[in-house]
Amino acid sequence: MACRGLMPSVCCFMFGLAFLAAGAAAAEYKLHWIVPTSADYYTNWISNKTFEVGDSVMFNWSTTHNVADVSKSEYDDCSKTSSVVASHPVQIQLNSTGSRYFICTVDDHCGRGQKLAITVKNRGNDTSSASFVSVGALYPDYKQTNSSPKRFLRPKLEQGQPVEHTEQMGSKLVLFGFLVVVPAIFDAAAAETYTVGDEMGWTTPPSGAAAYSTWASKQKFHFGDTIVFNWTGSHSVAEVSKADYDKCRTKSPDGEIHETSPANYTLNSNGTHYFICTVDSHCDRGQKVTINIGGEHSSASSLAATFFTLLVSLLSSYI
């Protein structure tokens, strides 16, 4: 057994760190690939992300688009390319450092801003050191023999030194490890950002309210996600009650009115959220959307619950 002779708490902590390093080794970034309604749409999307070797970008769209991995000159000129993927979703692996460029080659979509440039960095200074931690660095009271196979020996206790010292040290290491691991799990299962209406944006839809109800029915919103309202021209957005939504009550609605685009809303409560445009008769003409929240991101909640249960189990032996 790999941990034979090693205090169980220290062993568990070591494997916990190794598991965390492996689990956080790569990130998948999901992108709603659209003709942007604002010039900084893709700049804003990449602003809070760090792309590293091993990560991937998932391109997804709902209407007629494609994605091409192109050179810098093709990106700048919106040149056509033979290497085009037209079916979605498309997952692009980032396997090397440097700049990567992506465009949509449908009609004039690239010229209207449907293009993405990212910079890929190395994953840390030394990926090999991230997956293994020296016990000597974490637990100086242990010493390693020169014999083979390698083994770890308990230190010889001085007279009067309490035996509980080593166990208390192990308990602190386990607690510290989980305080690092659990927040990392939540960060790994990052919330998603949705642009209301995708490339249509927030406008008075030609087909009426069905346009936004159809768009919303294709999404899976969760607690913590963000929805973005983008528009040009004279519009606004307000989160309102169901009564205001049903009657398109635009005069002094329950919610705060946002008159500057883009307007971001974080979905921080479960249930149904209602949004309308308060300008003129826009709401009556269909500029309204209902967002149903299905709960927390399952990957984050289930992993956090598992680690919390294990934490309680490990620490119970020290209480």
For residue 10, the surrounding DSSP H or E stretch is: helix 8-23
CB 232 within 8 A of CB 279: no
Q: How far apart are CA 310 and CA 319, in angstroms?
A: 15
Hey, where are the domains in the chain?
A: 8-22+126-189+299-318, 26-121, 193-296
pLDDT of residue 80: 77
pLDDT above 50 (res 146): no
pLDDT at 139 over 50: no
In this predicted structure, what is the pLDDT of residue 164? 40
At residue 202, the pLDDT reads 95
Work out the angle at residue 45's Cα, subtended by the Cα atoms of residues 44 and 51, and round it to the nearest 5 degrees: 120
Asked if the domains 26-121 and 193-296 are classified in one and the same CATH topology, the answer is yes
Chain-wide mean pLDDT for the chain?
A: 74
Return the higher-pLDDT residue of 243 and 132.
243
In the predicted structure, residue 249 carries a pLDDT above the cut 70: yes
Per-residue pLDDT tens over the stretch 46-101: 988 999 999 999 998 888 899 999 999 999 999 877 678 888 788 899 999 999 99
**Which pLDDT score is estimated for 5?**
39
Percent of the chain past pLDDT 70, that is, above it, reads 62
> What is the side-by-side order of every strand in the sheet holding 263-266?
193-195, 226-229, 263-266
When pLDDT is averaged across residues 250-272 and rounded to a whole number, the result is 85
Packing angle, helices 298-315 and 164-188, rounded to 10: 180
- Report how far residue 94's alpha carbon sits from residue 243's, in angstroms, rounded to the nearest whole number: 48
> Over 60: is that where the pLDDT of 24 sits?
no
Q: CA 122 to CA 53: how far, in whole Å?
A: 6
Fold of 26-121: Immunoglobulin-like (2.60.40)
- Across 111-126, average pLDDT: 85
pLDDT above 80 for 11: no
Kindly state the tokens that stand for 289. Answer: 């959307």
Domain 193-296 adopts which CATH fold?
Immunoglobulin-like (2.60.40)
Give one DSSP letter per residue of 267-308, joined into a string: --SSEEEEEE--STTTTTTT-EEEEEE--S-HHHHHHHHHHH
Output the pLDDT for position 313: 60
Position 132 pLDDT exceeds 90? no
Q: Give the pLDDT confidence score for residue 296 in this predicted structure.
A: 54
Residues in the chain: 319
CB atoms within 10 A of CB 232: 11
Interior angle at CA 121, CA 303 and CA 24, nearest 5: 10
pLDDT tens per residue, range 277-316: 999 999 999 999 999 987 555 444 555 555 556 665 655 5
pLDDT at residue 238 in the model: 92
Specify the DSSP element, H or E, that contains 258: strand 257-258
Residue 266 vs residues 29, 165, 243, 244, 299: alpha-carbon distances, Å? 18, 47, 22, 20, 19
Find the largest Cα–Cα distance for the chain.
86
Residues 160-211: tens digit of each pLDDT? 444 444 444 444 555 555 555 555 555 445 678 899 998 899 999 988 889 9
What pLDDT shows up at residue 110?
A: 93
